[in-house]
């Protein structure tokens, strides 16, 4: 059985005795900083001069310094900048300011696991990784609940890295929901695999393919949108609430029969082979190398694919239909 910790297993005084620096104020950074602050922990946010996030953090009542200053003052540094820029930020702003006994924390194992960041032996290295987007980490905290998290220790210089990690998880509200023990390797590899083959890559390709097939067959794009994208959430909500059995209990017998007989014809041995190949490329470091090279080159493929995908017909049709749903708050990614 997996080891899962809850609030009673944590010692809130450990993180309260630290000076915490949160480097970055994006999705995770704003949530960690504000939750820790509201939990009574001393927090400084580290942001570059001229970062558009500075004003936001100051207006939220937080102390803001440069990443290097924040790291120098702190004895617990949580690094919450994009994974592809983390190595550079670490070498420039954090590494020169690390002292024996400091704790270096991450919310994803990528840079440690793939050896992009190699911390000195005299600091603790741990991960507290909420299993949900930052905006939910913040919102659930203010509502009295929390987002579950993973905890892992890469390096235990002090002998108390694990307890400090649990204490941090308490501070951001994750111990209210459960903190699961893992390793940097397991977290990194399963996280990348999940986002590639199902959560982000797999699902998006399935949605676009099903939508296009319906439209090409002459059905109205609006019908195709409702069927292949909108309704996905309603089905996934049922799975989230009670697993596949609850979803299959709620749908019609006709839908359930189609599920059992047609699903396995769509996701085939070829799909599973592609999933295993993606896993192998994660495990042997090929994906990490490819992504870091792409990022160092200015991410040309990422940016051009993003533009093309944003122009897909399903996006135009969907935007129009969502405008007619008064219960939906319009959401649009910022344009470059």
- Residue numbers of the site for ligand NAD (CB under 6 A)? 24-29, 47-48, 51, 53, 80-83, 85, 89, 107-108, 129-130, 133-134
Q: How far is the CB of 129 from ligand NAD (least distance, A)?
A: 5
For 125, phi then psi, to 5°, come to -130, 115
81: left (phi over 0), alpha (psi -120 to 50) or beta: beta
DSSP assignment, residue 335? P
Q: Which residue do the tokens 């319009």 mark? A: 330
Question: Residue 130 touches which of Mg ion, ligand NAD, none (CB < 5 to 8 A by kind)?
Answer: ligand NAD
Distances (CA, A) of 12 to 25, 74, 101, 155, 330: 23, 18, 19, 21, 39
Question: Residue 202 touches which of ligand NAD, Mg ion, none (CB < 5 to 8 A by kind)?
Answer: none
Nearer to Mg ion, 28 or 44 (CB): 28
Q: How far is the CB of 32 from ligand NAD (least distance, A)?
A: 9
Nearer to Mg ion, 189 or 256 (CB): 189
Q: Give the total of residues touching Mg ion (CB under 5 A).
A: 1
Question: Residue 71 touches which of Mg ion, ligand NAD, none (CB < 5 to 8 A by kind)?
Answer: none
Of 156, 95, 159, 168, give the one whose Cα is nearest residue 129.
168
- No. of helices (H) and no. of strands (E), the chain: 17, 9
191 binds Mg ion (CB under 5 A): yes
Question: Residue 196 touches which of Mg ion, ligand NAD, none (CB < 5 to 8 A by kind)?
Answer: none
Q: Which residue do the tokens 């992504």 mark? A: 291
Question: Which residue's Cβ has the minimum distance to Mg ion?
Answer: 191
Q: How far is the CB of 167 from ligand NAD (least distance, A)?
A: 19
The strand order across the sheet containing 149-155 reads 4-5, 179-181, 149-155, 124-130, 103-106, 76-79, 19-23, 42-46, 63-65
Active site residue 108: yes
CA-to-CA distance for 319 and 330, rounded, in angstroms? 9
Nearer to ligand NAD, 5 or 106 (CB): 106
DSSP assignment, residue 174? G
Question: Residue 148 touches which of Mg ion, ligand NAD, none (CB < 5 to 8 A by kind)?
Answer: none
Question: Which residue's Cβ has the minimum distance to ligand NAD?
Answer: 26
CA-to-CA distance for 155 and 161, rounded, in angstroms? 8
Q: Which residue do the tokens 């905890």 mark? A: 151
Q: How far is the CB of 95 from Mg ion (least distance, A)?
A: 26
Nearer to ligand NAD, 263 or 298 (CB): 298
83 binds Mg ion (CB under 5 A): no
Active site residue: 30, 32, 108, 154, which one? 108
Nearer to Mg ion, 224 or 282 (CB): 282
User: Which residues does the annotation mark as catalytic?
Assistant: 108
Applying CB under 5 A, the residues found at the interface with Mg ion are: 191
């Amino acid at each position: 059985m997996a080891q899962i910790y809850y609030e009673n297993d944590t010692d809130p005084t450990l993180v309260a005795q630290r000076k915490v620096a949160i480097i970055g104020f994006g999705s995770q950074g704003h949530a960690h900083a504000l939750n820790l602050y509201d939990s009574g922990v001393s927090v400084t946010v580290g942001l570059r001069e001229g970062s558009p996030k500075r004003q936001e953090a100051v207006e939220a009542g937080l102390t803001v310094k440069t990443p290097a200053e924040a790291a120098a003052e702190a004895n617990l540094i949580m690094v919450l900048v994009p994974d592809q820029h983390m190595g550079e930020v670490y070498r420039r702003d954090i590494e020169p300011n690390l002292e024996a006994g400091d704790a270096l924390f991450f919310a994803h194992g990528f840079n440690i696991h793939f050896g992009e960041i190699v911390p000195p032996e005299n600091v603790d290295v741990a991960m507290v990784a909420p299993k949900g987007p930052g905006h939910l980490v913040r919102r659930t905290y203010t509502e009295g609940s929390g987002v579950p998290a993973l905890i892992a220790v890469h390096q235990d210089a002090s002998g108390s890295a694990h307890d400090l990690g649990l204490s941090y998880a308490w501070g951001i509200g994750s111990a209210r929901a459960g903190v699961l023990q893992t390793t940097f390797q397991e977290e990194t590899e399963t996280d990348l695999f999940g986002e590639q083959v199902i959560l982000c890559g797999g699902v998006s390709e399935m949605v676009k393919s099903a939508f296009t097939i319906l439209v090409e067959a002459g059905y109205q794009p609006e019908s195709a949108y409702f069927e292949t994208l909108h309704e996905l959430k309603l089905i996934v909500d049922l799975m989230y609430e009670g697993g596949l059995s609850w979803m299959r209990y709620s749908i019609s017998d006709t839908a359930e029969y189609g599920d059992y007989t047609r699903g396995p014809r769509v996701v085939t041995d070829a799909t599973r082979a592609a999933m295993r190949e993606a896993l192998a490329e994660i495990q042997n470091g090929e994906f990490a190398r490819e992504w870091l090279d792409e990022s160092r080159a200015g991410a040309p493929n990422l940016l051009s694919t993003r533009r093309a995908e944003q122009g897909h017909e399903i996006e135009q049709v969907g935007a129009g239909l969502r405008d007619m749903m008064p219960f939906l708050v319009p959401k649009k990614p910022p344009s470059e």
